[in-house]
């Protein structure tokens, strides 16, 4: 990786935009806010930050997140000197912001998804890294950037959330090393844990309990799934944030090999969030035009939940799960 080149590009850019992916998670938001803070600290430069859809309220503690612009509020005719995408596996994950990316004089693509096809002018991609936060930590270190406490809190959040609190199989020695270094810089693991994992709303807990109570189990309980209808969301006053972690709860059952949540969309299509313990669900979701990681993936099928679930179950049952 050519750090000098990137430092020079940042130095020579008058206006910089950092873009996070649609349906933002802790990794894309932590990476965006951390990179923005670090560029400000190290180069005395302001960056614009962009969110494509609603930021989950639990991430409101991230430094500088209040200055993130939303796609509806940004001038899409603007030509940035530099646009940096963080955790954006494919360019369509930034939806309408693609126009800003295409117009930019230079683009940098920072990611950890193995499916990323290096669509930027410069690409900093490490498919072995747990998270984009981890990629950024090592990039900043190799580039001799100063990492202040605000940046450290952001990067730690990114790593923590993408590893499910250092539980998922993407947790490698390098991941824990990066986290340890961030703790050395002053990050308080208990404080961030509470902010991320002990901030559930009553609505979320009651709604998820309901969804789990009507889960279905197939093949000696190896397959676990639940269907979330529009009317369920309405009944509980639940929003998309209330879906967070639901599929993982079904996977956590000892007998489960594959778990999914099928959500009825406003359009009438069905959106799947799939998790597994062994089988490659990115490949299963890929059959339907979706993707993701080996043990965590998603797809959307243009059919009502009952039909869409039949199609998905057929694909799952073709495999040794």
Q: Which stretch binds Mn ion (CB under 5 A): 44-52, 70-78, 154-162, 312-320?
A: 154-162
Q: What is the DSSP string of 266-316?
A: TTS-EEEEEEESSS-HHHHHHHTT-EE-SSEEEEEESS-HHHHHHHHHHHH
Q: Which lies closer to Mn ion via its Cβ, residue 87 or residue 264?
A: 87
Q: How many residues touch Mn ion (CB under 5 A)?
A: 4
**Site mask for Mn ion (CB under 5 A), range 281-310, x = bound:** ------------------------------
Site for Mn ion in 109-148 (CB under 5 A): 131
Tell me the closest approach of the beta carbon of residue 131 to Mn ion, in angstroms.
5
Q: Which of 48, 87, 134, 264 binds Mn ion (CB under 5 A)?
A: 87
CB distance 258 to 279 below 8 Å: yes
- In order of 28, 78, 130, 183, the CA distances from 148 in angstroms are 19, 31, 22, 11
* Closest approach of Mn ion to the CB of residue 36, in Å: 17
- Hey, which residues between 3 and 42 contact Mn ion (CB under 5 A)? 27
Residue whose CB is less far from Mn ion, 219 or 241: 241
| Burial degree of 155 (CB within 10 A; 0-12, 13-18, 19+) | buried
Q: Strand (E) positions, the chain?
A: 16-19, 47-51, 69-70, 82-86, 106-111, 122-125, 216-218, 223-228, 258-264, 270-276, 291-292, 296-301
> Residue 130 CB, nearest distance to Mn ion (Å)?
8
* Least distance in angstroms from the C-beta of 157 to Mn ion: 12
Contact 53, 62 (CB under 8 A): no
CA dihedral 72, 78, 84, 86 (to 10 degrees): 10
CB of 112 to Mn ion, least distance (A): 6
For residue 244 the two structure tokens come to: 């967070």
Please state, in angstroms and rounded to a whole number, the distance separating the CA atoms of residues 304 and 133.
37
Taking CB under 5 A as the binding criterion, the range among 42-50, 59-67, 83-91, 178-186 that sits at the site for Mn ion is 83-91
Range in contact with Mn ion (rule: CB under 5 A) among 82-90, 217-225, 244-252, 290-298 = 82-90
Choosing from 48, 134, 150, 162, the residue that interacts with Mn ion (CB under 5 A) is 162
Task: Using the minimum distance from each CB to Mn ion, give the nearer residue, 27 or 150.
Answer: 27
Rounded least distance, CB 109 to Mn ion, Å: 13
What is the smallest separation between the CB atom of 221 and Mn ion, expressed in angstroms?
A: 30
Tokens for 33, please give them. 């806010």
Q: How many CA atoms lie within 13 A of 254 on its CB side?
A: 0
Question: What is the contact surface with Mn ion in residues (CB under 5 A)?
Answer: 27, 87, 131, 162
């Amino acid at each position: 990786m050519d750090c000098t080149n990137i430092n020079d590009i940042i130095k020579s850019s008058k206006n910089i935009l950092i873009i996070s992916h649609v349906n933002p998670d802790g990794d894309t938001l932590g990476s965006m806010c951390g990179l923005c803070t670090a560029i400000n600290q190290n180069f005395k430069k302001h960056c614009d930050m962009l969110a494509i859809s609603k930021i989950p309220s639990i991430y409101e503690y991230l430094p500088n997140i209040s200055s993130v612009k939303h796609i509806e509020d940004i001038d899409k005719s603007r030509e940035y000197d530099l646009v940096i995408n963080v955790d954006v596996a494919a360019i369509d994950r930034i939806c309408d912001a693609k126009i800003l990316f295409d117009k930019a004089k230079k683009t940098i693509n920072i990611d950890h998804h193995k499916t990323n096809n290096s669509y930027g002018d410069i690409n900093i991609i490490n498919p072995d890294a747990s998270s984009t936060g981890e990629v950024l930590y090592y990039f900043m270190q190799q580039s001799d950037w100063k990492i202040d406490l605000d940046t450290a809190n952001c990067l730690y959040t990114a790593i923590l959330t993408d590893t499910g609190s250092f539980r998922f199989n993407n947790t490698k020695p390098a991941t824990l090393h990066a986290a340890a270094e961030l703790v050395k810089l002053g990050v308080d693991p208990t404080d961030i844990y509470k902010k991320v994992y002990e901030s559930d709303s009553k609505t979320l807990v009651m709604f998820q309990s309901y969804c789990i109570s009507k889960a279905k189990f197939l093949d000696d309980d190896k397959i676990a799934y639940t269907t979330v209808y529009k009317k369920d969301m309405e009944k509980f006053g639940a929003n998309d944030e209330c879906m967070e972690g639901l599929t993982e709860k079904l996977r956590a059952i000892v007998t489960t090999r594959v778990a999914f949540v099928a959500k009825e969309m406003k359009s009438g299509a069905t959106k799947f969030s799939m998790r597994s313990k062994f089988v490659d669900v990115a490949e299963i979701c890929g059959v339907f035009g979706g993707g993701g990681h080996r043990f965590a993936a998603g797809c959307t099928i243009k059919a009502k939940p009952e039909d869409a679930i039949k199609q998905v179950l057929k694909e799952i049952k073709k495999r040794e799960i």
